[in-house]
């Protein structure tokens, strides 16, 4: 049975405000890692993947009134879906279009900004409910007049991947004919301070899967896919198909992955089983690869458990964008589909030395390759692990 069709994509991240800019950056090896300019933080020395558009500029692009209550995550998500709509065959989304959005922190950027003003200034009280992740989703849905199935998933760094999985399942079970899936997260003081307190932020550009890796760079982004059932595709081009997915939770630790990669192993195994393919049929892996000591070793062990001595070509694209938390699964799904369409494997930036524990060496330079099947991994805090498999149409 064919996987669920992807008929549209939209993205914004630190390496580009649309698909074309993003692909050009991936091809040229140009990362979006810099020091924070827009985020109001005292940690100006911590590298981040920041989108160099402030909220006022994003609001103007989206033609929103000055009195709007959109958070930064909502602005980024709306921007990405606007590109998706412009690239689709629709002038506006049909009434029965579903919307499933993932986010890790939702509108916390606004609640932390106005926390001390809420009791004194009624103007800012409209942001109080932004603390709930669903507020971000509702504001995006409001912009596009999406009034059907609207759902929020917040499972840390696997949020957007789980949104894609849920959307594919709803298409396959005929609950929906079409659904927008993905996720959005922005940089906040809460997340930057939180990850800094865990001592897993790198003082330099991150080095996923490198023996000398010393942490991650946080980023912000939004990415969304349009999934459609066969009956409504008609003459629209199919960009690829979601053929497999798996979610598992080994409940090992609140903020760390297990040494044997059990959660990742189970998620990948389930995705392969759902797709009905063997491990040997994977052509390329867009790895989770955050650049931390714990994550990269755990994921590497899981890959060895699945693939043995024949681990496919793999790389982490987080060296380009930073770790975009709840949006990571969506933008990396888009990168995976671009790999299939453009026949490119994107480089694992800043890699120099293999991990002695596993000896795995990622793709470190842009490579051309005929790619029919991609595995994309997204692993979150609390052990929530999700793997997606994308395949070429036809």
The residues spanned by each domain of the chain are 4-233, 241-391
- Rounded Cα distance between 216 and 319, Å, is 9
Question: For a pLDDT cut of 90, what percent of the chain falls above it?
Answer: 86
pLDDT in tens, 23-69: 999 999 999 999 999 999 999 999 999 999 999 999 999 999 999 99
Integer Cα distance of 160 and 328 in angstroms: 7
Name the class of domain 241-391.
alpha beta
Look at residue 256 in the predicted model and tell me its pLDDT.
58
Structure confidence at residue 118 (pLDDT)? 82
- The answer to whether domain 4-233 and domain 241-391 are alike in fold is yes
The mean-pLDDT minimum among 11-25, 83-97, 257-271 falls in 257-271
- Rounded Cα distance between 134 and 154, Å, is 9
What pLDDT is recorded for position 3? 92
Three-state DSSP string of the chain: CCCEEEEEEEEEECCECCHHHHHHHHHHCCCCCECCCCCCCCCCCCCEECCCCCHHHHHHHCCCCCCCCCCHHHHHHHHHHHHHHHHCCCCCCCCCCEEEEECCCCCHHHHHHHCCCCCCCHHHHHHHHHHCHHHHHHHHHHHCCCCCCEEEECCHHHHHHHHHHHHHHHHHCCCCCEEEEEEEECCCHHHHHHHHHCCCECCCCCCCCCCCCCCECEECEEEEEEEECHHHHCCCCCCEEEEEEEEEECCCCCCCCCCCCHHHHHHHHHHHHHHCCCHHHCCEEECCCCCCHHHHHHHHHHHHHHHCCCCCEEECCHHHHCECHHHHHHHHHHHHHHHHHHCEECCCCCCCCCCCCCCCCCCCCCEECCCCEEEEEEECHHHEEEEEEEECCC
Distances in Å between the Cα of 12 and the Cα atoms of 2, 21, 271 are: 29, 9, 27
What fold, for 4-233? Peroxisomal Thiolase; Chain A, domain 1 (3.40.47)
Residue 125, pLDDT score: 81
Which residues make Cβ contacts (< 8 Å) with residue 123, sequence separation at least 6?
A: none
pLDDT band at 182 (very low <50, low <70, confident <90, very high): very high
- The predicted-structure confidence for 222-234, as pLDDT tens digits, reads as follows 999 999 999 999 8
Beta bridge partners of 153: 102
pLDDT digits (tens, 9 = 90+) for 56-90: 999 999 999 999 999 999 999 999 999 999 998 89
pLDDT in tens, 184-201: 999 999 999 999 999 999
Interval 200-259: pLDDT, tens: 999 999 999 999 999 999 999 999 999 999 999 988 999 999 999 999 987 665 555 666
| pLDDT, tens only, 107-120 | 999 888 878 888 88
* Beta strands at 240-249 and 48-49: parallel, antiparallel or unpaired: unpaired
Query: What's the maximum distance between 2 C-alpha atoms anywhere in the chain?
Result: 63
For residues 95, 3, 333 and 169, what is the CA-based torsion angle, rounded to 10 degrees?
60
pLDDT at 38: 97
Residue 321 pLDDT = 98
């Amino acid at each position: 049975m064919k996987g669920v069709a992807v008929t549209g994509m939209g993205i914004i991240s630190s390496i580009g405000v649309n698909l074309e800019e993003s692909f050009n950056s991936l091809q040229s090896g140009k990362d979006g890692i810099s020091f924070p300019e827009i985020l109001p933080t005292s940690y100006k020395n911590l590298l981040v993947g920041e989108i160099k558009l402030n909220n006022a500029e994003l609001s103007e692009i989206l033609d929103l009134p000055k009195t709007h209550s959109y958070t930064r995550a909502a602005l980024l998500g709306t921007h990405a879906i606007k590109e998706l709509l412009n690239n689709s065959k629709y002038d506006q989304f049909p009434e029965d279009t579903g919307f499933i959005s993932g986010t890790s922190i939702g509108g916390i950027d606004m609640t932390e900004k106005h926390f001390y003003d809420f009791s004194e200034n009624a103007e800012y009280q409209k942001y109080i409910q932004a603390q709930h992740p669903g507020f971000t989703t509702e504001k995006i849905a409001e912009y596009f007049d999406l009034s059907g199935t609207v759902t929020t998933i917040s499972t840390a760094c696997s949020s957007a991947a789980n949104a894609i999985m849920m959307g594919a399942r709803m298409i396959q079970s005929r609950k929906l004919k079409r659904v927008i899936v993905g996720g959005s997260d922005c940089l906040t003081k809460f997340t930057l301070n939180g990850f800094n307190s865990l001592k897993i932020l790198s003082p330099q550009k991150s080095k996923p899967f490198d023996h000398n890796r010393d942490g991650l760079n946080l980023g912000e982004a939004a990415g969304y896919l349009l999934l459609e059932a066969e009956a409504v595709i008609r003459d629209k081009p199919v960009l690829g198909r979601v053929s497999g997915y798996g979610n598992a939770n080994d409940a090992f630790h609140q903020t760390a992955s297990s040494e044997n990669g059990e959660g990742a192993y189970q998620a990948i195994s389930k995705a392969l089983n759902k797709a009905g393919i063997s491990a040997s049929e994977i052509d390329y892996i867009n790895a989770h690869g955050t650049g931390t000591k714990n994550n990269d070793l755990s994921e590497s062990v899981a890959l060895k458990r699945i693939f043995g001595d024949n681990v496919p070509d793999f790389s982490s694209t987080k060296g380009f964008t930073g770790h975009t938390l709840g949006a990571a699964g969506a933008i990396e799904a888009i990168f995976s589909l671009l790999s299939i369409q453009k026949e490119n494997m994107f480089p694992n930036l800043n890699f120099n030395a293999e991990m002695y524990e596993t000896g795995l060496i990622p793709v470190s330079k842009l490579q051309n390759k005929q790619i029919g099947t991609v595995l994309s991994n997204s692993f979150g805090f609390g052990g929530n692990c999700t793997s997606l498999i994308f395949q070429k149409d036809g």
